[in-house]
Chains A and B, each alone.
Chain A
Amino acid sequence: MFDRVQQRHVLRRNSLWVVSFVIVFLFVWWLPTPSTLSGVAQYPAIHTAMETLAIVMAMLVYGITWNTYRQELDGKLILLGCAMLSVGFIDFAHTLSFQGMPDFVTPSGAEKAINFWLAARFLATLGLLGMATLPHFSLVTSRSYYGLLVATLVIISLVYWLGLFHADRLPATFIDGQGLTQFKIRAEWLIAIVLLVTAVLFFRQARRAVSHDAANLFAATALSILSELCFTLYTEVTDVFNLLGHFYKVVAYLFIYLAVFVQTVRAPYQRLAETQARLVNEQEALQRQSAILSLFYELPFIGMAITSAQTKRWVLVNDYLCQMLGYPRAELIEKSWDELTHPEDLQADLSLFERLLNDEIDHYVMDKRFLHKDGTVIFTTINIRCVGQADGVIQQVVATVQDITARHQLEEEQRQTLRHLETIANASPALFWTAGLDKGCNWFNQRWLDFTGRTLQQEQGYGWSEGVHPDDFQRSLATYVDAFDAHQPFAMEYRLRRHDGEFRWLLDQGMPRCDADGEFIGYIGSCMDITEEKSTRDALNASEQRLRLALQAAKQGIYDLNVQTGEAIVSPEYASMLGYDPETFRETNAAWIERLHPDDLESVAQTYEHYIAGELPEYRVEFRQRTQAGQWKWILSSGSIVERSPDGRPLRMLGTHTDIDSRKETELALRYQMERLHRAEAHARLGSWELFVDNHQPGWWSAEMYQLLGVDPAGGVPTFDEYIGYLHPEDQPLILETLNQMANGIEPTPAPFRSNPERGPQCWFNPSVNCERDAEGRPIKFFGTLLDITAIKNAETALRKSEERLRTLINTIPDLIWLKDPDGIYLLCNQMFERLFGAKEADITGKTDYDFVDRRLADSFRENDLKAIKAGQPSINEEWLTFNEGGYHGYFETIKTPVMGSDGQLIGVLGISRDITVIIEAQESLRQLNASLEARVAERTNELQALNQSLESFVYSVSHDLKTPLRGVEGYSRLLQEDYDTQLDNEGRQFINNIREGIKRMNELIDDLLAYSRMERRKLETNPINLNALLKSVLAELTNEFDARGVKIDVTLPPLTVHADAEGLTMVLRNLLGNAIKFSAHSGQPQIEISGSQQGEDVTLWIKDNGIGFDMKYHERIFEIFQRLHRLEDYPGTGIGLALVKKAMDRMNGKVWAESKLGEYAKFYIMLKS
């Protein structure tokens, strides 16, 4: 196989070659004169040279393949070699037949040469195609090998024979003067195509890895193709294409040679070189490994040796072993290991060695002693293993030898020490034992064994426990195991059976045991017989226990105080009373004061000092101490000085502490209860008292008693007489009587009584009294309570008064009032109601309607009652009722209301009936009056309408009929004035002027009158109107007049909106402004001010002029029709304008008024709704 990478590399290189040759070819083709070499005389020589080269190449290929043939070689190579052999021979013939060459059997010529040429090309192509397509095969036998050569020679002979002697049988390939024939060219093309296919195959094979050198073969094939192309192009056998073709052919053969050479010669050499290199590498690796191994072998702390299995002689030893045994290496090798072995160990070693040789074991390890050259004993551990078991017989044995002499000596020393210790232990009176890591005891001293009378073997492990008393066994085992697991020392007591069968108490103390490195290795323990001590101690304990129990039960602690130092010895109860651990508690005076409640410090200190000073017979004091938990505990401390110094100073004080916490608690609780009682009594205003029966001596009064009666508590409980004096004189006898009755066994009902009004404000009390009697029933002591019920009494009185007032009220009301319960039974009624039933209230209550009126009426009453109850609200009905008393018959409005109590429960139905007979009658007459009024109004309206219509027609005719003649007069007077002016004298003209003035005035009158009537009759349309905009438009209409008369207008009107008829309001403004202009005409500077305001809904606008004004006494007249204040010639006008304004304002529900000062101003107001 060819290396893929290398093949690709070669392929790349060859491809470049091929491409460059193609370029050369194309270049030559492109040259304008393809036949530059034509006619060169030396061309046959050149040709011969080229061909000779080619023949040599072909022969070399054959030679190499034939001679390097090996079985493993590809058979195709031989095939190629043979093909090249034939090609060489035929090319030889071709060379000799070339034009211009001497005759070769037959005369030379182009065609002859071409025939041989084609044959050679054909065979060469076949050889390459075979390489590309045939599978790998081997020529196994030499027969086929030589057969191939013979076949080749036959083919060569055949070609020669045909080419030399039977050229005429071959198709024409070249015709002189014409050049190449079509056959020749096609044959070359065919060969070229086959070669092309071959080249592609080689190219692809070269990209994979195949068994032949495809890359070089690809180049050979590609150049052959180029060569063929050249030979299809030349026209003369001497031209440049011919030459190039030959050149390419030589190069192609060179590549074939390369391919063959590479595959058959170079490749095997390369492989050989690679293998050698690998071998060298492996050898080096082995050498390195061996060096490392030898380092191990010469390790300076272990002896190593290889010995012969048969002779037991040392074969190989390392330095360390030599040193160990004290022999030089050369000397040691002369010896066998058995002769250096300690005689005592030899037998064991030999027997193991025997087993090793017999293949029973593959190795063994043992401690054994060697003998040093100087005779000393060497302690070793050896490890023996056999090697080199050729044919199952053990040849050599490998041994490692470790020197353990030092360790062995140490162990020996330890053993000695132990022996000494054991001796000591056995001599000791104590019982000793040791235990290993497994907790089992592994050693007991002789004392132990003597004590139990058992052997070491019996006691070892847990054997010892058999002697432990059954009652102690579990406890002591648990103590032992727990301590053991924690590696803690322990001490325990248990009973162990002595050899005589008696159980003796032992104190057993154990300690963990460690080796030199601090590693835990077990326990060591010692036991003492403590039977005697224990019985004494138990007796003491029992006695102490009893005392302690007694003190504990009394909750008493004992202290023994050194007064001088302040230190105290206390009993455990003293400590536990305060919550401390008695074991660790230490008492001193300072600590005691520190625990003392701050409030108690002073009293305790005083008591103590008084006692010390001898002022008190005994030291007895109560105080609070803080317990460890931080709570306060009451302690009663009593004590006495038991020792004094000669000068009388106290030295020692003995005493007890008693826990009085619960007593104190009870005390406090009692006090608290009393306080609560007092508070409750004060709240309820209830006092309690006691009184002795026989002598009326006062017993006890609660605090509230003093309060109730206003007695000063400082004076103590008052005597009975004093007490009576605090009560109302009228009630006193009753009280005495009640007590007497009580004393005599009669159960009285105590009635409320009053306080003495002379002693303070009047109070009411509700008493309650009881009597305590002795066993014979004799009264001993009264005890009672007094409840202040003044408030209730006052409320009662107020209620009664209120009720009386209400009753009077109800009876005074002229209505019938009553109340019935839900079942219809009367609860109350007023005097008016009594008249209905003709009975008194007392007779009515408790009865129903059915007892007083007939069944139908009663049913209807009841029905209305139930209706009101069901509705849950007042129901009203009207009815005719006839009084039983007096027989009055009237119409009543009855309201029935369900009445609920404060708890929401229905109490009954309240009824109120009112006599509305008069109202009904009044309503009736009113209705009749209304009806007649309406009729009258309708009548009047009709009349008015008729009147209005006649007025309308009147106005209509006025408008038409009055104006028509007027127009005639006007027209003709005008005509007269114009047409007959010259015929009239001045007076005549004046007459006509006067006529025309009259006409004008009459026309104005008619117009104003029409406007007035129209304002009266026309239908108004009330809309919201922007007053400012309207005013602006009216002012605009009058602009000319203002300008003409030089009137100054001053408008300061805020934005206002009014509801009015637009036309009517326009007319109003026009008229008022017209008047203002007219009446201010004669003032120096006519000025009109317009302004307005809004107040609520009322919008007011005023127009003020600085004209002549008017006397306010004419204020009403100016708004009347045809009323004038001035002469016509001064101020023309019809006297209708302001009447029209007033009419319009009235119709728009507005107002108009004026104020003025004669000769100064007139100010007109109008007011409308916004």
Chain B
Amino acid sequence: MTTNSSNLYPPILLVEDNPVDVDLTLRAFARRKLANPVLVARDGEEALEWIPRWAAGETKPAVILLDLNMPRVDGLTVLREFKNYPDLQRIPIVILTTSKEDRDINTAYDLGANSYIVKPVDFDKFMDVAQHIELYWCVFNELPR
């Protein structure tokens, strides 16, 4: 799924298998009038398919929001792949997941995750998180060039 792919702003890649979560996330971004287009990969495999496309010249994302618990290829595998890829290892990856397990948090950071955010159940809080992600990663943060 692509939205405004010809946007001036670099996109955000959301890797999330749960359609409810995808929908809610997109809504949250929409409510906050996010300028960056949001790309969605519905599982790990789909996320990895973006690698050749970025290599072919498509605009690399400003940030990748990555869920951990996904069917087929899980989030940690995706993380490892992206961080192993020389061209991609500078793209910030924010883990956005329900798990609060120490094990997951530590492994994610060990693999090079730039941030780890637990999805709140409360929708208001969830929208706050979305806004903060956008503000931080797409406005304040300077991307590698």
Which A residues are within 8 Å of any B CB, using their own CB?
956, 959-960, 963-968, 970-972, 974-975, 999, 1003, 1010, 1018
Q: List chain B residues, Cβ under 8 A from A1010.
A: 100
Whole-angstrom distance between the Cβ of B128 and the nearest chain A Cβ: 13
Most chain B CB inside 10 Å of its own CB: which residue of A968, A975, A1010: A968
Cβ–Cβ contact A967 & B27, under 8 A:
no
B102 to chain A: closest residue by CB: A1018
A1010 to chain B: closest residue by CB: B100
Known contacts A970-B123, A999-B121; is A960 also within 8 Å of B20 by CB? Answer: no
Whole-angstrom distance between the Cβ of B7 and the nearest chain A Cβ: 26
Cβ–Cβ contact A966 & B121, under 8 A:
yes
Cβ–Cβ contact A963 & B121, under 8 A:
yes
Q: List chain B residues, Cβ under 8 A from A965.
A: 20
Q: List chain B residues, Cβ under 8 A from A967.
A: 20-21, 24, 98, 119-121, 123, 126
Known contacts A968-B20, A968-B21, A975-B27; is A960 also within 8 Å of B69 by CB? Answer: yes
Most chain B CB inside 10 Å of its own CB: which residue of A960, A972, A975, A999: A960
Known contacts A971-B20, A971-B123, A1003-B121; is A964 also within 8 Å of B99 by CB? Answer: no
Q: List chain A residues, Cβ under 8 A from B126.
A: 967, 971
Whole-angstrom distance between the Cβ of A1012 and the nearest chain B Cβ: 14
Q: Kindly state whether residue B49 has any CB partner on chain A within 8 Å.
A: no
Q: Kindly state whether residue B110 has any CB partner on chain A within 8 Å.
A: no
Whole-angstrom distance between the Cβ of B48 and the nearest chain A Cβ: 22
Which B residues are within 8 Å of any A CB, using their own CB?
18, 20-21, 24, 27, 69, 97-102, 119-124, 126
- The docked-state distance in angstroms from the alpha carbon of A956 to that of B69 is 11
Task: For the A-B complex with A956-B101, A970-B121 known, give 13 more contacts whose Cβ atoms are closer than 8 Å.
Answer: A956-B99, A959-B99, A959-B101, A960-B99, A963-B98, A963-B119, A964-B98, A966-B121, A967-B20, A970-B123, A971-B126, A975-B27, A975-B123
What are 8 pairs between A and B in contact, CB < 8 Å? A959-B101, A960-B69, A964-B18, A967-B98, A968-B18, A968-B24, A970-B121, A1010-B100
- The docked-state distance in angstroms from the alpha carbon of A972 to that of B27 is 11
Q: List chain A residues, Cβ under 8 A from B123.
A: 967, 970-971, 974-975
Q: List chain A residues, Cβ under 8 A from B122.
A: 970, 1003
- The docked-state distance in angstroms from the alpha carbon of A974 to that of B122 is 9
- The docked-state distance in angstroms from the alpha carbon of A244 to that of B101 is 137
Q: List chain B residues, Cβ under 8 A from A975.
A: 27, 123
A968 to chain B: closest residue by CB: B20
Cβ–Cβ contact B21 & A959, under 8 A:
no
Most chain A CB inside 10 Å of its own CB: which residue of B27, B101, B119: B101
Q: List chain B residues, Cβ under 8 A from A966.
A: 121
Whole-angstrom distance between the Cβ of B60 and the nearest chain A Cβ: 29
Most chain A CB inside 10 Å of its own CB: which residue of B24, B102, B126: B24
- The docked-state distance in angstroms from the alpha carbon of A965 to that of B19 is 11
B28 to chain A: closest residue by CB: A971
Cβ–Cβ contact B21 & A964, under 8 A:
yes
Main secondary structure of the interface of A (DSSP, over half): helix
- The docked-state distance in angstroms from the alpha carbon of A972 to that of B28 is 12
Q: List chain A residues, Cβ under 8 A from B100.
A: 959, 1010
- The docked-state distance in angstroms from the alpha carbon of A960 to that of B68 is 10
List the 3 closest pairs (A to B, CB-CB), nearest first.
A968-B20, A974-B123, A971-B24
- The docked-state distance in angstroms from the alpha carbon of A964 to that of B69 is 11
B123 to chain A: closest residue by CB: A974
- The docked-state distance in angstroms from the alpha carbon of A972 to that of B121 is 11
Q: List chain A residues, Cβ under 8 A from B121.
A: 963, 966-967, 970, 999, 1003
Whole-angstrom distance between the Cβ of A1001 and the nearest chain B Cβ: 11
Most chain A CB inside 10 Å of its own CB: which residue of B18, B99, B100: B100
- The docked-state distance in angstroms from the alpha carbon of A970 to that of B126 is 10
Cβ–Cβ contact A974 & B124, under 8 A:
yes
Q: List chain A residues, Cβ under 8 A from B18.
A: 964, 968
- The docked-state distance in angstroms from the alpha carbon of A975 to that of B25 is 12
Whole-angstrom distance between the Cβ of B15 and the nearest chain A Cβ: 15
Whole-angstrom distance between the Cβ of A429 and the nearest chain B Cβ: 159
- The docked-state distance in angstroms from the alpha carbon of A482 to that of B47 is 154
A999 to chain B: closest residue by CB: B121
Whole-angstrom distance between the Cβ of A956 and the nearest chain B Cβ: 6
- The docked-state distance in angstroms from the alpha carbon of A999 to that of B120 is 12
- The docked-state distance in angstroms from the alpha carbon of A167 to that of B120 is 154
- The docked-state distance in angstroms from the alpha carbon of A964 to that of B97 is 9
Q: List chain B residues, Cβ under 8 A from A1003.
A: 121-122
Whole-angstrom distance between the Cβ of B132 and the nearest chain A Cβ: 17
B122 to chain A: closest residue by CB: A970
- The docked-state distance in angstroms from the alpha carbon of A38 to that of B137 is 128
- Residue of B20, B24, B27, B98 near A959 (CB, 8 A) is B98
Q: List chain B residues, Cβ under 8 A from A968.
A: 18, 20-21, 24
- The docked-state distance in angstroms from the alpha carbon of A971 to that of B123 is 5
Whole-angstrom distance between the Cβ of B68 and the nearest chain A Cβ: 8
A1002 to chain B: closest residue by CB: B121
B19 to chain A: closest residue by CB: A968
Whole-angstrom distance between the Cβ of B96 and the nearest chain A Cβ: 12
- The docked-state distance in angstroms from the alpha carbon of A1010 to that of B97 is 16
- The docked-state distance in angstroms from the alpha carbon of A87 to that of B69 is 153
- The docked-state distance in angstroms from the alpha carbon of A1018 to that of B100 is 13
Most chain A CB inside 10 Å of its own CB: which residue of B99, B102, B121: B121
- The docked-state distance in angstroms from the alpha carbon of A959 to that of B97 is 11
- The docked-state distance in angstroms from the alpha carbon of A864 to that of B58 is 95
Whole-angstrom distance between the Cβ of B127 and the nearest chain A Cβ: 9
Whole-angstrom distance between the Cβ of A551 and the nearest chain B Cβ: 133
Whole-angstrom distance between the Cβ of B141 and the nearest chain A Cβ: 26
Cβ–Cβ contact A960 & B98, under 8 A:
yes
- The docked-state distance in angstroms from the alpha carbon of A970 to that of B119 is 12
- The docked-state distance in angstroms from the alpha carbon of A964 to that of B96 is 12
- The docked-state distance in angstroms from the alpha carbon of A956 to that of B103 is 11
- The docked-state distance in angstroms from the alpha carbon of A856 to that of B21 is 92
Whole-angstrom distance between the Cβ of B31 and the nearest chain A Cβ: 10
Q: List chain B residues, Cβ under 8 A from A963.
A: 98, 119, 121
Whole-angstrom distance between the Cβ of A46 and the nearest chain B Cβ: 127
Whole-angstrom distance between the Cβ of B1 and the nearest chain A Cβ: 19
Whole-angstrom distance between the Cβ of A266 and the nearest chain B Cβ: 130
Whole-angstrom distance between the Cβ of B19 and the nearest chain A Cβ: 9
- The docked-state distance in angstroms from the alpha carbon of A1010 to that of B102 is 12
Whole-angstrom distance between the Cβ of A523 and the nearest chain B Cβ: 142
B118 to chain A: closest residue by CB: A963
- The docked-state distance in angstroms from the alpha carbon of A679 to that of B67 is 116
Most chain A CB inside 10 Å of its own CB: which residue of B69, B99, B123: B123
- The docked-state distance in angstroms from the alpha carbon of A191 to that of B98 is 138
Whole-angstrom distance between the Cβ of B20 and the nearest chain A Cβ: 4
B17 to chain A: closest residue by CB: A964
- The docked-state distance in angstroms from the alpha carbon of A418 to that of B101 is 161
B25 to chain A: closest residue by CB: A971
Whole-angstrom distance between the Cβ of B35 and the nearest chain A Cβ: 23
- The docked-state distance in angstroms from the alpha carbon of A1132 to that of B21 is 29
Q: List chain A residues, Cβ under 8 A from B119.
A: 963, 967
Q: List chain B residues, Cβ under 8 A from A960.
A: 69, 97-99
Whole-angstrom distance between the Cβ of A955 and the nearest chain B Cβ: 9
- The docked-state distance in angstroms from the alpha carbon of A1003 to that of B126 is 14
Whole-angstrom distance between the Cβ of B89 and the nearest chain A Cβ: 27
Whole-angstrom distance between the Cβ of A563 and the nearest chain B Cβ: 137
Whole-angstrom distance between the Cβ of A773 and the nearest chain B Cβ: 120
Whole-angstrom distance between the Cβ of A469 and the nearest chain B Cβ: 147
Q: List chain A residues, Cβ under 8 A from B99.
A: 956, 959-960
Whole-angstrom distance between the Cβ of A376 and the nearest chain B Cβ: 166
B99 to chain A: closest residue by CB: A960
- The docked-state distance in angstroms from the alpha carbon of A959 to that of B99 is 6
Whole-angstrom distance between the Cβ of A1134 and the nearest chain B Cβ: 15
- The docked-state distance in angstroms from the alpha carbon of A960 to that of B124 is 20
Most chain B CB inside 10 Å of its own CB: which residue of A965, A971, A974: A971
Whole-angstrom distance between the Cβ of A65 and the nearest chain B Cβ: 132
- The docked-state distance in angstroms from the alpha carbon of A970 to that of B20 is 11
- The docked-state distance in angstroms from the alpha carbon of A970 to that of B102 is 25
B69 to chain A: closest residue by CB: A960
Whole-angstrom distance between the Cβ of B33 and the nearest chain A Cβ: 16
Q: List chain B residues, Cβ under 8 A from A974.
A: 123-124
